A and B are shown apart, each in its own frame.
Chain A
Amino acid sequence: MGKLKGILMCLVILSLFVTGISARAEVAQSSSPTELMLFQEIPMVVTASKIEQPLTESPSAITVITAEDIKQSGATSIDEALRMVAGAHFGYVTQAFMAAGGIRGFFKLPDNKIMFMVDGIPEQIESYGYPASYRASITLEEIERIEVLRGPGSSLYGPNAMMGVINVITKKTKDTHGNLISFTAGERGVMMVNYIHGGSLKDKVDYRVAISGEQKDNWGYIAYARDPTVKYWRGNTAIDYYIDDNSQVNFKGSYFSLRDGATIFESTGPLLYGGGNDNKYTVALTYTSKEPNILLRAYQGFMNHWKRGYIYDCLRLYQFFQGTKGVDFQHTLEPFKKDTLVWGGNYMQQQYLAPTNVGKRRHDMNGIFVDNTYKLKDKFHINTGARYDKHPNTGNSLSHRVSFLYFPWQDHSFRFAWASSYRNPDFIESYYTSATVYGHEDNKAEKAENFELGYRGKLTKKLSLEANIFYTKITDYVYFVYTSTTIRDFLNIDDLFERGTEIELKYSFADWLQGVLNYTYIDQWEQNEMSQLEATSSVLSMTPQHMFNGQLRGYFKNGLSANLELHYVGATDWRKYDWTPYYTTYRPAESKTYGGGKAARYIIANLRLGYKFKFLKNDAELGLAIFDIFDKQYDDYPVDTSSVGRRITGTFTYKF
């Protein structure tokens, strides 16, 4: 029956595209009216150089996911929206928690080698140092684009931007006037309601307010969860005040609440088993001016976790707090012709309070950076950058980037980059103390050195290609090592290496039909293959060697659209843990919990159908998203209670 459904599904998809082809063939043949030239958009991007520049001039490998990409993917979270990014993978642990993976190799659970920001403000879970993407206080509808920088980013962004940077950029308040309401519901307990309102006051102020409620099954949920449904509430506001034509102030405030969340970390096991709760508050104030071109920002975020659950057979109130505050400064200038210089600095304070295992900890960190782009000739650009950071435990760190960009012909560019980056051990790796897991304050920072060659170009009018090859060496990699049969210590282990390639092809079949194919190959090895350190071989097996993504997207008449994606992820092997022995007396009936093990390779297909129409003279859209059409049961990070499978959701969006 399942196969029959699958065949029927294929026929439906094929007929949709065939109908679309015949419907649009003649339209494609007719010439475009001249007035449409006035309405077309030319894309610009804020890149790792912190200045707006075309994608073709970026000194790093960068992928941009637009608001349209997010909508067409049928994603219900930021992590799901990144599925098509070459070299990146954020695998499911539970439906709500997708932290098994990373960017460009050395995947981990959690993925702690990436910096995650929203509008340039870092949002990390301080305890484990991983992206707070699923705890972001913004709704998907507020996102204008997501920039994914692949490779080292520390020379601009400092620690944690070791293997990549994800920068979520929200829509400008002046572009979100009016009201938007969206409603999503479907299988796996998915229900999401969002409301966004924006407006202006006397041409001096633009504002936006957004509230949302969401729930999802903890799909692949951890045993002991009282209620496998996690619930979120989000509220945020953004206010832009235009002081004059030269300068403005932006205020952002947000609140995020999570109930009955279930997460699992490879090192410390199921966290908040039994369902945990979060309250998170964030505020940020940013001043920008054109002359001089400066940015000054202050921000503060604070999160409170708590739950009542079993720890070592005792029922306890388990609570911890974490927060970050900081100040950023940046100045952009052109000291001479064809040269752009960006320099700045920041102060950041991170705090973590977990009475049971970390205590009260605080890190005060400072950093200064400089980044320069010089256009030596029209066809040749040089980008150089350096950053100094100071950390209370690891001391002084220096990271750099040197990029050469060569434009031999129009529409073609070659890039060579040499960069270094680093990551400070997080609070858990530095201070965690329990009966079986120990952090160490004297752990050194992980350091990465990367060499990269890249090409981006238009091979024909319809076909574009991006290809990168990279080589990375990591020294002082931090992982937890079994120092006895039951004790695990977070330590610096062997040096690790990787080489890899990313290839992406984009083809425009017609102005209404586009396709994308990308392939990633990553090969990792250790310096001393004879060391037989179990931790090292574990690290090397958590990244799939091959990943492949394909996408076909069509826009048809009558407001219909369709987006078909294929994803292939190679096999991985995660350290297997049995958490059962820790809960011998007071555990519920589902008493066994395993995490890790072999995750077989898999290929899945996702489909999203959309229909735009006018409702009461306003724009509306219906969407149907089928994740994993053929219901392939698979694991990204194996959890013995269940695997990932098909999910069907429907969305209604209305703007008025």
Chain B
Amino acid sequence: MKTQHFSLLFILVAWSFLGSGCFEIVEDITVHNNGSGEFYYTANLSQSKANLDLIMQDDSSEGYRVPSRQEIDADIVRTKATLEKQPGITNVVTTTDWPNYIFSVKFSFASMSQLNAAVESVSAEFAADHKSIPEASGNFAFAGKVFTRKSNYNAEKEKEKLTAKDKDILRNATYTCIYRFDQPVKISNNAKSKISASGKSVMTRFNMLNLATGIEKIAHTITLK
């Protein structure tokens, strides 16, 4: 169950592991020349909603405790409140679409270090509940004309802990990274990345199982012109 480290909103994703079926996570970040920008993170479990409808009626599934709707709502409110307290973080908006099981969080950040601090603050907030993300630290950097998406996730170590069930669930899940810039992109060092028609955005889609087992790496560096 260590794959949750990919998710900045573990609280939203952890229980998605309870049901088999597909889900997708989208990490969409706009970075301006001065390092400020917008962060938009979405967990879409819509494809598994029939399963989730059933699972949410129970208090446990496959040996994992199923949180209630109220509990998840409360965690989302807590996430919003934590982010709003962070310096340099503004316009925090969270959305929940329960019928489709789509959850998102969106905010503006003044600098890359403040974005990192914000993500870490959410992780720290949930540390006591064991919902934190130890690897969610210093994941983004922007210096000169180079944007770096880092990852502290140690697939070699963590993949041993994945159960067959975990793998089955992750097999059909996707993680999409979209990074947008003011300047055109020169190159992305990830072979899977695509550059948009305007040349200012980079999209990379990963299979979650490949990420969890280290076949694919989320870390990549984008150099601007």
Q: Is B truly associated with A?
A: no
B residues adjacent to A (C-beta < 8 A)? none
Residues of A within 8 A of B (CB): none
